[in-house]
């Protein structure tokens, strides 16, 4: 069968499907020097297209998973990328073509894959219980080898997970290995069920709280504090009957409210505190913390639909709007179910990160992608979350950046003291670079810049794993 990709914007320029697995042993140093103190591996995941889409159209969040790893040790860096060879990938490889239809709409799939998971494993990578897991919220985690990225298999925590999927945005505590995660539409597409899990470093379920969402929402990310898990429900809603008619998996309902649930850790569904606000979208969380009877959440907030390719039930496509890093405050002493919101910075931004060692604590600095320009370029921003001061590093014209990754300068380094790892897209040169920035002085530019002879088409999220942990922690 001929492989011909459709002439659509999602497949043009930098986003043209790459479909290549790569090995680069000893990446070429362009400038500076790789800090000797960095010892570990940075894992990331993103979508690519194994074959042209079955129905001729596509959206940027769809596509088979490609896992990436940068191993950094003794001042040297190696790079590897591999397809995530899960059930979806394997059945399509055997058929030699795409077999799954519209994004997450199983009613549009080829009949031959009925009962086969359409999970793409294309969003995030974590290391937990000695296992390297690639995540996408439409399926359970898929385990790959920590050194080769070769497939191992779907992982359900030895049958302990009762939900049909797990989020791509869990949170964890590096000091004790606890993983906090959840599933939405947890009993199947279109269900209102959601479950919160607290899992120890040996894969045991310590806490499991089931409750119902106000509607069958998308819940792409959440946040945690020592006492609460914060879940935002947004009016991007799944309608099974509409899916049967060929609809998109989500539809935008501007007449509905944003609803936020604060779930008490160790509590029950009866302990949940509910808060409501105007229709909008809360995409990615930077961090949350507690202070004086209030829970604060720093997140990227859209005043409308963040996914314009998901229309209203009437088929109307609402123009997209930018995200602004904002602080949402939930006052537990108030009884009116409202929350306060203010912008931290007045420049749009996305993919926020902080020092992962201190999730749930009040952090002074955060990092994100900012200042997207018409030529496709973007910058890395460091935000003082108390003052709103923003410092940036822009890699140049026609150069864009992926989500930054914080790495502590050394074991026991102070909060926010470390490095930022950033993949840079050289849009005109058609290749990528790895930049290493001083997280406390990003305006100075990279302390090391390394050339990649390949193009890293797209990655969404990832994690840095300490080298000693990788070398010693075996699966439980």
**pLDDT tens-digit series, residues 142-198:** 999 999 999 999 999 999 999 999 999 999 876 678 899 999 999 999 999 999 999
Burial of 412 (0-12, 13-18, 19+ CB in 10 A): exposed
For the segment 453-463, the average pLDDT, to the nearest whole number, is: 96
pLDDT digits (tens, 9 = 90+) for 93-125: 999 999 999 999 999 999 999 999 999 999 999
Locus of tokens 């390719």: 309
Instruction: Give the span between the Cα atoms of 32 and 25, in whole angstroms.
Output: 19
Whole-number pLDDT of residue 174: 64
Cβ-based neighbour number of residue 271 at 10 Å: 14
pLDDT digits (tens, 9 = 90+) for 65-87: 999 999 999 999 999 999 999 99
For the segment 270-289, the average pLDDT, to the nearest whole number, is: 96
Phi-psi region of 100 (alpha: psi -120 to 50; beta: other; left: phi over 0): beta
SS (H, E, C) 329-366: EEECCCCCCECEEEECCCCCEEEEECCHHHCCCCCCEE
Q: How many residues does the chain have?
A: 476
More reliable by pLDDT, 474 or 242? 242
The fraction of the chain above a pLDDT of 70, given in percent, is 99
Say if residues 267 and 209 touch (Cβ distance below 8 Å). yes
Picking from 107-116, 263-272, 331-340, which range would have the lowest pLDDT averaged per residue? Answer: 331-340
Instruction: Name, in order, each residue with C-beta under 8 angstroms of 413's C-beta and a sequence gap of 6 or more.
Output: none
Instruction: Give the span between the Cα atoms of 399 and 402, in whole angstroms.
Output: 10
Does 375 have pLDDT greater than 70?
yes
Whole-number pLDDT of residue 1: 74
Coil, helix or strand at residue 243: helix
Whole-number pLDDT of residue 318: 86
For the segment 440-444, the average pLDDT, to the nearest whole number, is: 97
Query: Contacts from 252-256 at CB under 8 Å and sequence distance 24+?
Result: 252/305, 252/307, 252/310, 252/311, 252/312, 252/318, 253/215, 253/279, 253/312, 253/313, 254/279, 254/304, 254/305, 254/312, 254/318, 255/279, 256/215
| Mean pLDDT of all residues belonging to the chain | 96
Q: Which of 231, 203, 377, 216 is nearest to 295 (CA)?
A: 231
Whole-number pLDDT of residue 29: 98
Whole-number pLDDT of residue 253: 97
- Look up residue 166 and give its DSSP letter: -
Burial letters for 316-351: b for 16+ Cβ neighbours within 10 Å, e otherwise?
Answer: eeeeeeebbbbbbebeeeeeeeebebeebbebbbbb
Instruction: Give the span between the Cα atoms of 5 and 15, in whole angstroms.
Output: 12
- pLDDT grade for 433, boundaries at 50, 70 and 90: very high
Cβ-based neighbour number of residue 8 at 10 Å: 12
For the segment 201-215, the average pLDDT, to the nearest whole number, is: 96
Whole-number pLDDT of residue 374: 87
Backbone phi and psi for residue 470, each to the nearest 5 degrees, phi listed first: -65, -35
Say if residues 393 and 442 touch (Cβ distance below 8 Å). yes
Does 53 have pLDDT greater than 70?
yes
- pLDDT grade for 335, boundaries at 50, 70 and 90: confident
Whole-number pLDDT of residue 476: 65
Burial of 171 (0-12, 13-18, 19+ CB in 10 A): buried
Q: Which of 222, 194, 219 is nearest to 208 (CA)?
A: 194
Q: In what order do the strands lie in the sheet with 390-393?
A: 349-353, 365-370, 379-384, 390-393
Domains recognised in the chain with CATH numbers? 9-472 (2.130.10)
**Token representation of residue 300:** 């990227």
Say if residues 358 and 415 touch (Cβ distance below 8 Å). yes
Handedness of CA 390, 396, 400, 402 (dihedral sign): negative
Does 242 have pLDDT greater than 70?
yes
Instruction: Name, in order, each residue with C-beta under 8 angstroms of 308's C-beta and a sequence gap of 6 or more.
Output: 317, 318, 319, 320
Beta bridge partners of 368: 381
Whole-number pLDDT of residue 203: 92
The fraction of the chain above a pLDDT of 90, given in percent, is 93
For the segment 235-246, the average pLDDT, to the nearest whole number, is: 97
Q: Which of 259, 344, 253, 350 is nearest to 305 (CA)?
A: 253
- pLDDT grade for 42, boundaries at 50, 70 and 90: very high
Say if residues 144 and 67 touch (Cβ distance below 8 Å). yes
Helix (H), strand (E) counts: the chain: 3, 33
- pLDDT grade for 462, boundaries at 50, 70 and 90: very high
């Amino acid at each position: 069968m001929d492989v011909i990709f459709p002439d659509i914007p999602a497949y043009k320029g930098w986003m043209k499907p790459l479909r290549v697995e790569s090995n680069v042993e000893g990446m070429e140093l362009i400038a500076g020097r790789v800090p000797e103190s960095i010892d570990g591996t940075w894992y990331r995941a993103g979508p690519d297209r194994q074959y042209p889409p079955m129905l001729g159209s596509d959206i940027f969040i769809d596509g088979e998973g490609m896992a990436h790893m940068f191993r950094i040790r003794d001042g040297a860096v190696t790079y590897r990328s591999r397809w995530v060879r899960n059930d979806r990938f394997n059945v399509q490889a055997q058929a030699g073509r795409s077999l799954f239809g519209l994004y997450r709409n199983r009613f549009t799939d080829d009949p031959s894959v009925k009962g086969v998971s359409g999970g793409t494993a294309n969003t995030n990578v974590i290391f937990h219980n000695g296992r390297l897991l690639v995540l996408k919220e439409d399926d359970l985690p898929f385990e790959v080898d920590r050194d080769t990225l070769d497939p191992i298999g779907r992982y359900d925590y030895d049958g302990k997970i009762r939900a049909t999927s797990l989020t791509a945005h869990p949170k964890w505590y590096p000091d004790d290995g606890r993983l906090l995660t959840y599933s939405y539409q947890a009993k199947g597409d279109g269900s209102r069920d959601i479950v919160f899990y607290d899992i120890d470093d040996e894969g045991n379920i310590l806490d499991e709280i089931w409750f119902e969402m106000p509607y069958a929402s998308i819940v792409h990310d959440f946040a945690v504090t020592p006492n609460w898990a914060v879940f935002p429900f947004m009016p991007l809603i799944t309608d099974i009957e509409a899916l049967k008619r060929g609809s998109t998996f989500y539809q935008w309902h501007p007449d509905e409210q944003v609803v936020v649930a604060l779930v008490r850790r160790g509590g029950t569904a009866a302990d949940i505190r509910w808060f409501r606000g105007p229709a909008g979208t809360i995409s990615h969380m930077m961090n949350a913390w507690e202070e004086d009877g209030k829970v604060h959440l720093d997140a990227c907030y859209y005043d409308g639909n963040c996914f314009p390719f998901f229309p209203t039930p009437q088929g109307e496509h609402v123009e997209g709007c930018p995200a602004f890093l904002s602080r949402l405050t939930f006052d537990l002493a108030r009884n009116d179910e409202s929350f306060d919101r203010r912008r931290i910075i007045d420049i749009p931004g996305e993919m926020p990160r902080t020092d992962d060692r201190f999730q749930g604590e009040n952090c002074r600095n955060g990092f994100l992608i900012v200042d997207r320009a018409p030529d496709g370029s973007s910058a890395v921003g460091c935000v003082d979350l108390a003052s709103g001061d923003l410092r940036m590093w822009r890699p140049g014209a026609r150069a864009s950046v992926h989500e930054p990754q914080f790495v502590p300068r050394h074991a026991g380094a102070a909060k926010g003291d470390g490095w930022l790892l950033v993949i840079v897209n050289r849009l005109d040169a058609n290749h990528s670079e790895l930049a290493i920035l001083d997280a406390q002085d990003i305006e100075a530019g990279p302390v090391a810049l390394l050339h990649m002879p390949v193009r890293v088409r797209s990655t969404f999220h990832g994690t840095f794993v300490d080298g000693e942990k990788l070398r010693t922690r075996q699966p439980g």
